[in-house]
Structure 1
């Protein structure tokens, strides 16, 4: 995996446990929009987890995050 994705993943993995939580992904997505445009991101984040959390453990691993980042280059 590229260093670029590892650096982005590490930036969003605020507790450093090697996986992204719903809260961490929500914060990452919220950072893409001006604060006044962010209402409720729970539906968007839930959809992302449904699609990208392939082992269904409730977290995004680095391997699960890369396809998400490739499809949402704004995250990088």
Structure 2
């Protein structure tokens, strides 16, 4: 696994527990669309979890996050 993706995951894992919550993913996606309302992103985040949360635990592990980051490279462009 790429150090780039691990570093990106760590940036969004704000509580450092090794899992991304819907709140953390919403914040990450919101950084791509600063004018968007967070509530407006809830459907998008739920769809991302439906596709990438392969163990259905309601969290994204770094292993689950990598395909998401590969398919949404804009996540890595936020400063």
Question: Structure 1 residue runs of 4+, over 2 Å off?
Answer: none
After TM superposition, the score normalised by the length of structure 2 is: 0.91
**Could you say what the CA RMSD is over the residues aligned between the two structures, in angstroms?**
0.6
Gaps of 5+ in 2: none
Gaps of 5+ in 1: none
Q: What pairs up with 1:1-76 in 2 under 5 angstroms?
A: 1-34=1-34, 36=35, 38-39=36-37, 40-76=40-76
For residues 75 and 33 of structure 2, the distance between their equivalents in structure 1, rounded to whole angstroms, comes to 11
After TM superposition, the score normalised by the length of structure 1 is: 0.95
Larger RCO, structures 1/2 (Cα 8 Å, 6+ apart): 1
Instruction: Give the number of equivalent residue pairs.
Output: 74
For residues 20 and 61 of structure 1, the distance between their equivalents in structure 2, rounded to whole angstroms, comes to 6
